[in-house]
Every structure is written in C-alpha cells, then in structure tokens.
C-alpha cells in the first residue's frame, strides 16, 4: 500500500539562487516527487518599494517549475515589463528590475506577511501553485539579511552591493544581520535529524552570500554536524574562478586565494565529501576528505542531471562508510 501523503524528503539541498538552482534542478529530475527539499537562502531578501522580495526563493521556484528566464538568467520566462517602464517614468527606483508577472509574488507575499502569515507557509503555497513537487523551505521565518562591509566603511545590503553597485566596491567582510535572534526552519532541523535522510547537498552557490546566511541561523550548523546522512559540498569554483558571480573577487579582496581549500573552510565542521571539477583534480589529495572529481560546470539540463546523479552516487558510497557522528567525535 502506497502512502500518498508520505512526502518526507530523502535529500536536502542548501541553495542560493542561480548557480545553486542549476544543481537543484538536476536533483529534482533525479529524485521521485517530494523526495527533494531545498533549504533556501533568504539573506538576500529585500524590502523594495515596500514589497518583500525573495530573489533566491523565487529563482529556485521558477527553475523547478521550468519557468525561469533562460535569456536573462533571472526572473520569469515570457515576462513583460510595463511595471518598470511606468515606474521609471514616475520617478520610482530603477536599479532593481521587477517583471510584471514576478510582481504578483512580491505583492501577494507582502500582503500575506502583513496579515501575519509566515514566509515558510507562503512559500509552500507558491510552490504548490507552480506545481513544484519539492519542498522549498526558507532558512528562517525571521529576517536575516546579508550585509556587505566595504573597505571604505560602508555596510551595503546585499542587493545594493550586487545589483545597484554591480559588485564593484572592495569588500572587507559580511554581516548576517538578525541571525542571532532568528529561529531556523523547523522543517530543516527536523529533516537533518531524520535517520531516513540519504544525503545533504551544499549546492555550488557562493558560500559568503548564499550558504553562510543559512548556516548563520542558530542550530543549523550543529544540525548539519550531527546529521547521520553524508553531507556533500559541491564547489562553485573551477580553476580558482567562479562560473558566475563575484566569489573569486571576494576572496581576493579578503586577502585569500580563491580555491577549493577556501571553499572547504566554510564547511569543514560538517562536510563528509567534496565535489570538484576535473580542472582541479590535482588538488584532491590536499583536501583531507573524500573527493569526487567530475564535471561541475552545468551548461545544459543534461549536465545538471549528470552532476546530480554523480553527487547522489557519491553520497551513497559515503553513507556506507560513514560512522555515526558521535562515534567519530569520540574516536
């Protein structure tokens, strides 16, 4: 007898927006319905024109629904732009583009939040409306915002740094504002404690601005460390360069050499395995944990599915070898 209500995920992916969503899509294709859950970064959410915008949440949802804008690399496919045209005309802010159909999510989300709904419940409602049969869990229902500190002493909310200032300012650090007082998603914490969980995947997102915000929420890092399933990190760097985005620039501005060793420093208290690109095969022996060398650049859907399959296979191998965390600690 099949329990149609059994939607417990077997894989939890931690993801930011565009880069991470590629692997999330591969996992979504590989897994049966409802077996995938995604811990979603809300550190780059913003209040814009009075609306609550959740860029990474929406990017992952559009991607899984098959409705992401391939041409732009963000937003909805077949989008129209009347709202922005008129907004610019009346002197509204022009630096952050909002598509007409995309606006429905922001306006409705803001309305529901102001009526007391939780971001997690709203997200579940939107995922269902888009027919996405995976769990999308914002890292917290409270506000945790990534703030970029610059060498000239400014503190820029992430989207202002990323979109308005095109990642140009030299950075000196990051703040995850609000993290201390935030509660983690109970779905994420419960899933990490579930003995039936088969794998946790750190998607190839920017650690500073996509994954660290999730890890900054209290109890998440500890839950990852205590998780019985293998935790696999997929490197977003290839040959010391990011496929897309400012990650390599960030490391350099912080005085660090961009590379897989740096990536691993973000995750070394809980990672069981690490996935790097063929281009970096020479590094594998230095990394100090099981490494899978494969093609990590995902140019098309086949690449996404291939990488997802490799990551899941790697997790299976590691699961067979993984000792319970408490024994390792004690050993």
86 binds a copy of itself (CB under 8 A): yes
Q: Which stretch binds a copy of itself (CB under 8 A): 102-110, 174-182, 193-201, 311-319?
A: 102-110
Quote the CA–CA distance of 292 and 111 in Å, as a whole number: 45
Total residue count of the chain as it appears in this document? 331
One residue of 72, 129, 256, 321 binding a copy of itself per CB under 8 A: 129
45 binds a copy of itself (CB under 8 A): no
Residue 156 phi, psi dihedral angles, 5° rounding: -105, 125
CB nearer to a copy of itself: pick between 129 and 321: 129
CB nearer to a copy of itself: pick between 92 and 324: 92
121 binds a copy of itself (CB under 8 A): no
30 binds a copy of itself (CB under 8 A): no
62 binds a copy of itself (CB under 8 A): no
Token pair, residue 165, equals 């200032």
Query: Half-sphere exposure of 240 toward its Cβ, with a 13 Å CA cutoff?
Result: 7
49 binds a copy of itself (CB under 8 A): yes
One residue of 45, 56, 102, 280 binding a copy of itself per CB under 8 A: 102
116 binds a copy of itself (CB under 8 A): no
Contact 325, 226 (CB under 8 A): yes
Quote the CA–CA distance of 255 and 320 in Å, as a whole number: 39
Site residue total, a copy of itself (CB under 8 A): 31
51 binds a copy of itself (CB under 8 A): yes
Looking at the chain, the number of H-run helices and the number of E-run strands are: 13, 14
Distances (CA, A) of 120 to 41, 185, 277: 12, 8, 34
Residue 138 phi, psi dihedral angles, 5° rounding: -55, 140
Which residues bind to a copy of itself, rule: CB under 8 A? 49-51, 79-80, 82-87, 89-92, 99-105, 107-108, 110-111, 114, 125-126, 129-130
């Amino acid at each position: 007898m099949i329990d149609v209500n059994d939607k417990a995920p077997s894989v939890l992916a931690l993801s930011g927006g565009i880069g991470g969503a590629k692997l999330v899509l591969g996992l979504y294709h590989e897994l049966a319905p409802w077996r995938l859950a995604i811990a979603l970064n809300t550190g780059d959410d913003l209040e814009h024109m009075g609306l609550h915008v959740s860029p990474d949440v929406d990017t992952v949802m559009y991607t899984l629904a098959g409705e992401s804008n391939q041409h732009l690399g963000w937003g909805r496919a077949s989008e129209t732009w009347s709202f922005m045209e008129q907004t610019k005309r009346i002197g509204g802010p022009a630096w952050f583009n909002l598509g007409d159909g995309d606006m429905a999510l922001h306006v409705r989300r803001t309305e529901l939040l102001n009526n007391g709904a939780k971001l997690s419940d709203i997200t579940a409602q939107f995922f269902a409306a888009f027919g996405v049969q995976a769990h999308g869990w914002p890292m917290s229902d409270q506000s945790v915002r990534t703030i970029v500190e610059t060498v000239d002493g400014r503190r820029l909310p992430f989207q202002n740094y990323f979109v308005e200032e095109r990642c140009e300012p030299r950075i000196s650090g990051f703040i995850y504002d609000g993290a201390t007082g935030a509660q983690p998603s109970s779905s994420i914490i419960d899933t990490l404690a579930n003995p039936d969980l088969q794998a946790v995947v750190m998607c190839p997102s920017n650690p500073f601005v996509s994954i660290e915000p999730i890890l900054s929420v209290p109890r998440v890092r500890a839950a990852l460390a205590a998780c019985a399933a293998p935790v696999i990190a997929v490197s977003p760097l290839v040959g010391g360069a990011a496929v897309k985005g400012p990650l390599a620039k960030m490391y350099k501005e912080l005085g660090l050499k961009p590379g897989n060793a740096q990536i691993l420093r973000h995750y070394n208290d809980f990672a069981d395995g690490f996935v790097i690109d063929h281009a970096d095969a020479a590094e594998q022996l230095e990394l100090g944990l099981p490494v899978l060398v494969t093609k990590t650049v995902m140019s098309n859907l086949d690449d996404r599915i291939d990488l997802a399959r490799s990551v899941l296979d790697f997790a299976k191998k590691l699961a067979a070898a993984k000792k319970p965390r408490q024994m390792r600690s004690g050993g």
